[in-house]
Structure 1
Amino acid sequence: MRFRVVLVFALLASSLPVSAAVKPEDAIDHPALLAQLEDEARTARPREQCYLYTQIVHIMTEIAGRRLAEGETEEAAAVLKQVQHYAELIHLALARDTRRLRETEMLMQTTTHRLGQCLHLASSDDRPALQATLAQLDRVNEELLTQVFQH
């Protein structure tokens, strides 16, 4: 009986979309989970992509912050370039009908705040890339706020 319960639970968990099964904290330490979330975002319906891309940006911002704290500036810069790419995808996804706007905006606000904290910890060499990424995320957050208030 216990085996059946475990089997049913495992089957249910594996049938959930990655975004429902993955917590951002888990994906930070497990690159395979982040890759799964990226794949899900690419294949998701247009209405879902904006939120999924925002989750990816949030996770990658945390990863970049950790890399900066550990002194791995080149790795952090590479992650920030990915953040910029996904921020552009969020911008493009906003042109389509989107769901979960308020949740998306709140997560983006948290993400930009976290990146702002990283900016204060970064060396002067790392600041231009962080500032450019933060400016881009701020623009996306403004667009999200506009969309939230229009609906």
Structure 2
Amino acid sequence: MQFTLRISVLLLFLVSTCIPSRAADKITILDEQQLLQLEQRAEQANPRDQCFLYTELVSAMTEIAGQQLKSDNPSQATATLNKIAKYAQLIQVKLSRDTKRLKNAEQLMHRTTYKLNEYLHSASYEDRPTLQATLKQLNQVQSDILTQVFNH
């Protein structure tokens, strides 16, 4: 009886720890107003903070582009990816300045490029060129940020 109870408790523990948490899977996607606020915050921020804030903006917009691709809205996704490319250029420009939170920006960019790569694998053939170009640019930005991290 005790042996059966121990096995049951052990089995319950193993099952409960192996099931992924649904709360961890949920990703909050910014609405249009929040996105505009983040964009304004990045534009008006101290130059040292701009690199990280633009990286946050790129990350949020990548989530939006992914949702647009999943909802079969490639024209909006392409427009969003073009905005991402624009902000990636701004990150590269702002990177030459003395910046704060470089390591955080690099980690966020790493997660962003990983997600964009996932979207690339599930995208339709027509959407892939834009995704590939954006991913290539973001990989370059991540490499530049990482170089700056090691230089500081």
Equivalent-residue separation in structure 2 for 1:125 and 1:138 (angstroms): 21
Q: Deviations over 1:103-149 (max 9, x none)?
A: 00000000000000000011110000000000000000000110111
What is the alpha-carbon root mean square deviation over aligned residues?
0.8
Counterpart position of 2:127: 126
Equivalent-residue separation in structure 2 for 1:95 and 1:129 (angstroms): 27
Which entry has the higher C-alpha Rg, 1 or 2? 2
1:117 aligned partner, one-letter code: E
Equivalent-residue separation in structure 2 for 1:46 and 1:36 (angstroms): 17
State the TM-score, normalized to the length of structure 1: 0.82
Counterpart position of 2:88: 87
Whether contact under 8 Å (2:30, 2:60) holds in the other structure is: no
1:99 CA displacement: 0.3
State the TM-score, normalized to the length of structure 2: 0.81
Whether 1:147 and 2:148 are equivalent positions in the alignment is: yes
Whether 1:68 and 2:57 are equivalent positions in the alignment is: no
Unaligned runs of 5+ in 2: 1-26
Unaligned runs of 5+ in 1: 1-24
Question: What aligned pairs does 1:22-37 form with structure 2 within 5 A after superposition?
Answer: 25-26=27-28, 28-37=29-38
Q: How many residues align?
A: 126
The percent identity for this pair of structures is 49
Equivalent-residue separation in structure 1 for 2:74 and 2:122 (angstroms): 12
